[in-house]
Structure 1
Amino acid sequence: MFRSVLVFLLLWLLATSVRAQTIIEGRVVHAQTGAPVPFATLGVPGRGLGTVADEHGHYLLRLPDLRDTLVVSCVGFTRHVVVPAALAAGQREFRLAPQEQALRDVVVEHRRVHPGLLGRNKEKADVLWMGGSSGKETVDDEWGWEFGTVLRPTHHTYLEEFHVFLATNNYEQLRFRLNLYTLEQGKPGRALLSKDVQLICTNKQRGWLTVDLRPYEIQLDAQPVVATIQWLQSEKTDPWDKYFSIPVTRQAKQVVVERENSEAAWTLHPMQPSLYFTVMTE
């Protein structure tokens, strides 16, 4: 009898938590044109709550209640802060204003450059860093997860290609965004990219994923930066036992950074992932 009561109470608590969950749904649009902002991120500052809008700017966000401040952002746009009162009043369309370019344009000069690598280009490592939704009925609350590493260019550097290695992958489709940040007090600080750089992985692809960065004309000074991939989207059908992994190797310094979504707190780890750039350096 006592065991039956415990089971009943557990089921009641689970049902209550599901009912108490608030789901808000709407769109993220361009403040000037009204056009959708694809793959904008939504997150509650300092908490593991958030998601990513789809290619049409549509989002579905699960929140415990409407008492939290929400931040909406996307590469190339100014962050938009939504106060709890606006959410409670029913605001569901969020308008993002374009942002001025953060990185300067490339100026072509006759300087001697040579090819190089920035990061770790090894496939094998000590452990696999897992990402995914194994055992969960939904995956949209995993979107926005961000993972990367601290890099330290020693000379003025032009980014040619970006590479990240997937050791395992059970998804029919994965979409990631490349982000670059300044390093401030050992953690990612100001976002550097003003153009949206994405990687798309289909058909359970494994191995090196590569994106050509030459069209984006990205250059770095001889200062530490943080490079991350951000999970934007994946298949939604049959989400059980879906995961992917990136090899990481242990080392003395904390160079791996991670956070649950676009507004969560960063965590640091003494590891280095299989993630690198091919570059031209002066």
Structure 2
Amino acid sequence: MYTSKLVLLALCGISNLLWAQVSTVQGRIVNASTGASVPYATVGVPDQSVGTVADAAGRFTLKLASATDRLMVSCVGFEKREVRLVGGQLTGGAQIVLQPVAQALGEVTVRRDKLRPGTIGRRARHDAIIGKNDTDLMGHFITGDDQGWEGGGIYQFGRASYLDTFHVYVGRNPCGMIRFRLNFYAVENGIPTRSLFTNDVQFVLRSQQTGWVAVDLRPYNLRVEKQQKLAATMQWLESAECTAKWPPFVVPASFPSFHQSVIRTKSEDQWQVHGAYPSMYFTIQSE
């Protein structure tokens, strides 16, 4: 009896070892319409903190520590796609094709002549350590597996508005360079869901850049509907020379707050919602 159990345990160990040997998935993500690479598309295991981001050439490498039979591949402006795995490998070959989202005619809007300027979000920049009632819920500890981390806030728009500029205060930045994607989601039942726009908005932080960072959104002509609840997040795409695990990357946030911040570790992970107000805001033009 004991011998049988030992043999079974040994077989299980061999099985796990074999899985570990084939747990690296590699591929290239391309545009179905043009055949061109889709840079910085995200790849993740559904509902798990496992995933990565493709590079500028659309290529990715994902290490899987446990068995899974599917991955979700997505990028702003493209339809999300599920791909199957057998034995830790892609079943349809190393090339993953994404279909561009068709832009409806109604998405092309023209600004009215009379608009009212304003802001929405938190303009305070108190440091997470020094500021009263501040915390670093928007902090991210550098791990070397940072691609896909995402954090931001939820905003309620009373009037139909155009987004002119996105502002974020970076309290700490131990990296040589960080590329972010600015994502915009509809909010349902308090959780970010579908992408609101098809525009891929990216920005880059220079070496150890801190302070207020502004991203010009006017070229994208982004319009938010009246009473729209929107989640705006910064998604970590790539970085360089992030050698220090401390101090972490930090966007300060006021806590506690009736405002909400959202964070997830990878692109297909479940969202975490906190009662915090990150130092992020928009300048807007309202109708």
TM range (shorter): 0.7 to 0.9
Pick closer, same or farther for the CA change 1:17–1:279 going to 2, 3 Å.
farther
Q: Which residues in structure 2 correspond to 1:1-282 (within 5 Å)?
A: 19=20, 22-85=23-86, 87=89, 89=91, 91-101=93-103, 104-110=107-113, 112-124=114-126, 125=131, 126-128=134-136, 129-133=138-142, 136=143, 139=144, 141-222=145-226, 223-235=228-240, 237=241, 239-241=243-245, 243-253=248-258, 255-282=260-287
Pick closer, same or farther for the CA change 1:59–1:245 going to 2, 3 Å.
same
User: Size of the alignment, in residue pairs?
Assistant: 262
Cα distance in 2 for residues equivalent to 1:65 and 1:238: 27
Contact 1:172 1:202 in 2 (8 A): yes
Pick closer, same or farther for the CA change 1:183–1:123 going to 2, 3 Å.
same
Contact 1:248 1:271 in 2 (8 A): yes
Cα distance in 1 for residues equivalent to 2:156 and 2:164: 16
Pick closer, same or farther for the CA change 1:264–1:61 going to 2, 3 Å.
same
Q: Offset at 1:60? A: 1.2
Cα distance in 2 for residues equivalent to 1:238 and 1:220: 35
Q: Offset at 1:67? A: 2.5
Pick closer, same or farther for the CA change 1:167–1:108 going to 2, 3 Å.
closer
Q: Offset at 1:131? A: 1.1
Letter aligned with residue 61 of structure 1: L
Corresponding residue SS for 1:215:
helix
Pick closer, same or farther for the CA change 1:108–1:252 going to 2, 3 Å.
closer
Cα distance in 1 for residues equivalent to 2:280 and 2:100: 30
Letter aligned with residue 140 of structure 2: G
Letter aligned with residue 101 of structure 1: Q
* CA RMSD after TM alignment: 2.4
Contact 1:21 1:62 in 2 (8 A): no
Q: Offset at 1:42? A: 0.4
Corresponding residue SS for 2:157:
coil
Structure 2 equivalent of residue 4 of structure 1: none
Pick closer, same or farther for the CA change 1:157–1:73 going to 2, 3 Å.
same
Letter aligned with residue 176 of structure 1: F
Structure 2 equivalent of residue 9 of structure 1: none
- Percentage identity across paired residues of the two chains: 37
Q: Give unpaired runs (5+ residues) of structure 2.
A: 1-16
Pick closer, same or farther for the CA change 1:32–1:240 going to 2, 3 Å.
same
TM-score with structure 2 length normalisation? 0.84
Contact 2:257 2:277 in 1 (8 A): no
Q: Offset at 1:84? A: 2.4
Contact 2:120 2:281 in 1 (8 A): yes
Corresponding residue SS for 1:83:
strand
Cα distance in 1 for residues equivalent to 2:200 and 2:33: 19
Q: Offset at 1:109? A: 3.0
Q: Offset at 1:213? A: 0.4
Contact 1:176 1:229 in 2 (8 A): yes
Contact 1:147 1:259 in 2 (8 A): yes
Corresponding residue SS for 1:149:
strand
Cα distance in 2 for residues equivalent to 1:263 and 1:145: 10
Q: Give unpaired runs (5+ residues) of structure 1.
A: 1-15
Q: Offset at 1:254? A: 5.4
